[in-house]
Structure 1
Amino acid sequence: MNELVKQYVERIQPLDEAASQEAAAHIANLTVPPGSLGKLESLAIQLAGITGETKPLFERKEVIIMAADHGVCEEGVSAFPQEVTPQMILNFLAGGAAVNVLSRLAGADIVCVDIGVKSDLAHPQLVSRKVQYGTANMAKGPAMTREEAEQSILIGIAVVEEAVAQGVRIFVTGEMGIGNTTASSAVMCALTGTPVKEAAGRGTGLTDERLLHKIGVIEKALAVNAPDAADPIDVLAKVGGLEIGGLAGVILGAAAHRCPVVIDGFISSAAALLARAICPLAAEYMIASHASHEQGHRLLLQELGLAPMLDLDMRIGEGTGGVLGLTLVDAACRIVREMATFESAGISGGEAVTSE
């Protein structure tokens, strides 16, 4: 493992158990029946453990959209042409995409990173960290070199470093890259042994015939490259994508800084799987926003041990589900910070548990 990546992995610590217990005790005294807050309660307790604060507050939130292209698109695995990748990036930067609308609602900033788009892009708000002009065709050989895979992870970490220095304390994973459900399915299969037909979905809207073709391409890529399931960097290099590596770095960087990271859909979850394989403790800092309509995502969440907060049949990507998840993070924080306790409200409760 790259020495810099290793240093970040070593910084990731278990959740703060004392803070989690204090949050749980405080919630037990709120003016609601025990356990009635459901997932909001468990979320509030997790947030306390992540941050080390009983009543955390996230004033600055950031969606990090990693964008890259995939050489495997040569095989006809997507319903959309590759030029859509740079076109959508410009849409993000202009504020016109779904993730922009929902981010404005959630009060989150968006940072768009060109980590491997096949074309040259110029925009004052674009963060240019291009490793190469898209990956190679993984159906014919490795998607990238090991060094490029490690570089993509380090870029994700560096983007988080810059955001934390500016006061950001919670992150959402977003992505853009035509063909990235193919790479994500391959990563999932390589790391978990899931049959390709169970992992691969329709992406941007493939027909039955083209879905079967996509499955065959992924099976070929896995056979040609023989990625080592015990070596997540090898899996990323052989059948992954630059934006997937970048998002794995975002997750590792966030965990190293004790910041929660809200995971979006299928591609983001594949990156989360890689991050967990690199550092199992990183999973404790992940919050699953929603269950994507993309086939394989529920299996992937189960593999990660994450329970999604929402189930809206969405399959947009971009970070849209993650941004919607931010509203529930805010709700959990506000409940803990603003709701009265039985004592403060003068209400008779059951067996009161003091949080002092």
Structure 2
Amino acid sequence: MIQTLDLKHCLRIRQKLDMKTKPLGSLGKLETLANQLVLILSQGMSDEELEKAKFTIINPSISVFAGDHGIAGEGVSIAPSEVTGQMVANFAQGGAAICVLARQFGWRLNVVDCGILVPSNNTSVINCRLGESTAAFHQQAAMTHDQLDKGLANAGELVQRELSQGCNLFAFGEMGIGNTTSAAAIFSALSGVTPELAVGKGTGVSDEVVDKKRLLVEQALNLHQLSSNKPLEVLQCLGGFEIVHIVGAMLAVASAKKIIVVDGFIATAAAMVAIKIAPSSKDYMVFAHCSNEQGHQKMLEWLGVDPLLHLEMRLGEGSGAALALPIIHSALAIYNDMASFEEAEVTQVVK
């Protein structure tokens, strides 16, 4: 059961931020972020506990879920499916962008095989395999109901493992050749946005391949006749093994009342599914960045959210989420440590 955020501390948190030594609202999104973070982290506290508390991020965890896609066999990417497994090996060896960023900012990194063509032989890769690949979703459902259920359960267990280490902030990345096509299909099915607007260039394909991707998504939508009110059915028919795990992980984190940092296009598609399943899960989500993938801005607009960063990235892996961590630390530092007008004996600025 995912509970809506208790807003009883909302006014106190806002007042504390407003009384810092600055013009009202002058720290912009940093104040909005601080308000959200403290509201999440103060759930269950009394008024007295709130006044004394210092809010910090503990053992931040980022998990990169990898899965291969049957739709990749239709030539929707510049890379073959084998690259998914090769990148998993790169993650395990610490050589990928997300590995560098995780080390830079202090994330604990998990690499998870959700179902790739060739299983990893690296013992540091977590085995959550649902198969070798999803089916081509324009011909049949991407996965079975049992695979869907197992993926959601796997993700919940991974989150519980991190919670047992005290983690209170989670991010989720992905790797899977073909997964921008899957994410675009999910976006179209849940929002009604046409494939023409939802589908983009992914890894950097040609205009002709973009047209092919749009056609495949249209074929899938026509085949499955999905309802936006049945998000699990949308996920089963159009999703990837890695996307299923991200959905399950997001729901588990929200159920635990911890913070979710949402990455780019693929992760936001997963967030859309999670929010459709449990609308209150959105309360716990911080949207890290706006990807350069065509449909991502439209996703964010549909969700009515404002991301922290606009860096023209489209890598995936959780890279945008990783970059949000120092901003999150900064927002909490402002809340915890910045003096009030009274404490600093500064005349209060009137807007």
Query: TM-score when scaled to structure 2?
Result: 0.95
Q: Is the aligned partner of 1:140 residue 2:142? A: no
Q: Is the aligned partner of 1:315 residue 2:305? A: no
Aligned counterpart, 2:46: none
**Structure 1 residue corresponding to 2:31, chosen from 29, 41, 45:** 41
Q: Is the aligned partner of 1:115 residue 2:114? A: yes
Q: What letter matches 1:212 in structure 2?
A: D
Q: What letter matches 1:253 in structure 2?
A: A
Post-superposition offset of 1:351? 6.2
Q: What letter matches 1:18 in structure 2?
A: K
Q: What letter matches 2:4 in structure 1?
A: P
Superposed counterparts of 1:1-356, under 5 Å: 10=1, 12-52=2-42, 54=50, 55-350=54-349
Q: What letter matches 1:38 in structure 2?
A: G
Post-superposition offset of 1:178? 0.5
Q: What letter matches 2:267 in structure 1?
A: S
Find the aligned partners of 1:314 and 1:161 in 2 and give their Cα distance.
30
Gaps of 5+ in 2: 44-49
Find the aligned partners of 1:290 and 1:41 in 2 and give their Cα distance.
17
Find the aligned partners of 1:234 and 1:147 in 2 and give their Cα distance.
12
User: Are the equivalent residues in 2 in contact too, given 1:82–1:178 (CA < 8 A)?
Assistant: yes
Aligned counterpart, 1:3: none
Find the aligned partners of 1:264 and 1:310 in 2 and give their Cα distance.
10
User: Are the equivalent residues in 2 in contact too, given 1:290–1:309 (CA < 8 A)?
Assistant: yes
Aligned counterpart, 1:6: none
Find the aligned partners of 2:104 and 2:339 in 1 and give their Cα distance.
27
Q: What letter matches 1:128 in structure 2?
A: N
Find the aligned partners of 1:25 and 1:60 in 2 and give their Cα distance.
29
Q: What letter matches 1:221 in structure 2?
A: A
User: Are the equivalent residues in 1 in contact too, given 2:24–2:350 (CA < 8 A)?
Assistant: no
Find the aligned partners of 1:150 and 1:31 in 2 and give their Cα distance.
51
Post-superposition offset of 1:305? 1.8
Structure 1 runs, 4 residues or longer, greater than 4 Å off: none
User: Are the equivalent residues in 1 in contact too, given 2:254–2:281 (CA < 8 A)?
Assistant: yes
266-275 vs 252-261, which moves further: 252-261
95-104 vs 223-232, which moves further: 223-232
User: Are the equivalent residues in 2 in contact too, given 1:16–1:51 (CA < 8 A)?
Assistant: no
User: Are the equivalent residues in 1 in contact too, given 2:22–2:349 (CA < 8 A)?
Assistant: no
Find the aligned partners of 2:255 and 2:88 in 1 and give their Cα distance.
28
Post-superposition offset of 1:167? 1.1
Alpha-carbon RMSD across the aligned residues, in angstroms, is 1.3
Post-superposition offset of 1:16? 2.8
Name the % identity.
38
